[in-house]
Structure 1
Amino acid sequence: MRTATVWAIVAAAWASTIATGSTRPPFMAHYMPWYESRPVSGRWGWHWTMDHFDPEQVDASERRQIASHHYPAIGPYDSTDPDLLSYHFLLMKVAGVDGVIIDWYGAEDIHDYAFINRATGAAIDAAAAFGLQYAICYEDRTLRAMVNAGRIEAGEAVAQARREMRCVEADWFARDGYLRVDGRPALLVFGPEYLSDAQWAQALDGLPSNPAFLTLHQRRAPADGLFAWPPMWASEHGVLSPGRLREYFARYGERASAASYSIAAAFPGFRDIYAEAGTQESHGVLDARDGATFDETLSLAMASGADAVQLVTWNDFGEGTVIEPTREFGYRYLERVQEARRELGDGTFGYSSGDLRLPARIYALRKLHATDNVVLDALRAAEEATLQGSTHDARDVVGAIDGQR
């Protein structure tokens, strides 16, 4: 049986077990706000180096040495750079992405978590400015790191988690752009990997916002639902095959049908660089198959009737699950997201594949003319025109600045 036919059968079976909502599920990109660059932050952070690679080493193709098999189209960047945030979120709007689910490690000053917290706040502010939704995916491995570093005792982990959840509630849950399911703010936890189910019940007890709590791969009490992710634990001999991936989605669909909420996942592949960096063993490889992996998982996610579709990920370069433009794949994945918006009959979406190139041109010109306020004002006008769908006007402005049409 052909692979495409098998995927269609899985999608049909999944769709039949989950009630499809009356509105289109939002496309939410999983977003990593953890990149530090020397030009902006004064150093290259761990997620570009993994204590092994040196971004100051530049090859003949002007490619810096970074901890990834893939290379961002605009080069390595800093997650707190306002120009970078404008580029990312304008690009998401043009691609048809509705928002971001941000990987968050809490607010404590340990490892690079304080930086990630600041970058998360900046990303949420920028997402709001561009009319995007946002939500938090909490990494409770943070609690293990704090215990191991002697910052808290193991018996204090639940209290620390409660403080973190109240921080999220106070800072972000009440904002208009926060992703909601049935009127409840969506809160994802990656795992959980540290707290037990009973401990999570204690951590969430009494939160006035009553978040819709979702756990990884399966619903674990006290969760209301679950979210999907590349199941690299199902790899055999270091490879996650299409067959094993189909088995995962079939099981996930059964679990989702029994839960109140589900966030489906689409992903381009998986190829981490951990072994090369010497940080840990590789999780394995999920071949991109010239874009077929993303096509199939996105089609399945769209047919699932889930409350949202998570694009995994926008920019985890260390694990190679990247849909933002790279030198290797260009705009392949964002063009597919645009197609998906049109397939869903979204008459409000009018951007073309050619429009995807505009945000990078604006970003490059901002860097080139960083001290020229006249040019920067013109680029802000081009950005606003793009945001409003007037891409022809934006091209005129950009063309006048860089001499290209």
Structure 2
Amino acid sequence: MSKSAPKTPPEALRKARRIVVKIGSSLVVDAATRAPAAAWLNALAEDLARLRAEGRQVIVVSSGAVALGRGRLGLTRNARLDEKQAAAAVGQSLLMQAWETAFRPAELVPAQVLLTRDDTERRRRWLNARATLEALLKLGAVPVVNENDTVATEEIRYGDNDRLAARTAQLVRADLLILLSDVDGLYTADPRRDPEAEHLPLIEALTPDILAAAGGANTQADVGTGGMATKLEAARIARSAGCATLIVSGLNAHPLQGLLDGDRATLITAPASPLQAYKSWIAGSLEPAGALAIDAGAATALAGGRSLLASGVQRIDGRFDRGDCVRVVGLDGGSLGVGLAAYAADEMDRIRGKHSGEIEGLVGYKGPGVAIHRDDLVLDPAQ
């Protein structure tokens, strides 16, 4: 971990520029009325607006659709899978209405984003989801992400949105994942059962002892059944992507402002930055599907930290799709690095040697102005 990496929860929040905030059903939905917890949502919206005013980008991952839908349809918690899917279909519109109502006074614009596991694990869909989220952030909206439970083909399990939040953080290369929970962090044991349990404010490695400290589900909350184990699994996913995680109590109003004011929480650090982790993944986990041979001028530009322009590409080898890993080589065949192609092989062949302004006319749509963006490129050590 970098020496400058945050070591306290308030410092982690102050330093983060792109933040994913996950909210569980037990916070979004009032357990007694089965209606949205309007006052709490309004307070959280004020916290989010304050972060936005400070120049931070925020993505919300919100549970609650199934719980709200069950309340509207009069279903029990032991509903069948098809009934849970029906509840999700009814509840998702209610959930977005609740966020729209909460965001309006804070002058925030919510944008519904429904994802499935394939959207974060299949390469082309991953690229499409990332592009959508990036566009929403650029336009000033606040994405409100939820799992697309209505079309889920396997059992809807608690914890999916913890993992979905981590995958979302990975997707957008977030600096910080905040998991709002019903407890104020990780303890050496379940504090509801063991009054001697000690709070752990800082975790720098997810050791077996730390993982063993995760308790079971919160059976006291009627609308949420998840536990600390799913949150540590989410933190592990986020950590591998260079994203730190905060486990924070959301039981009080203004939980994010409370963090800055020193409320108790657990910080799980990441060993690298999101960009470093992303580039390590490109370099070490992906098998190149083809190659781009570039001229000497382009090679010099890459060595200087620039993106690879189509004008520098002289030859295309192999068959690959947009977003596939390709090797970058010199005209002599010597390896220069690897990167993610911004265009498929046939499109790349059309735009090679051309200037950026010509690309749209050659491929038929407005795409990236580069062949490989510098953030998606890893040069060989000698370069």
> Normalising by the residue count of structure 1, what TM-score does the alignment of the two structures yield?
0.28
Q: Which has the higher contact order (CA 8 A, sep 6+)?
A: 1
Structure with larger Rg = 2
TM-score (norm 2): 0.29
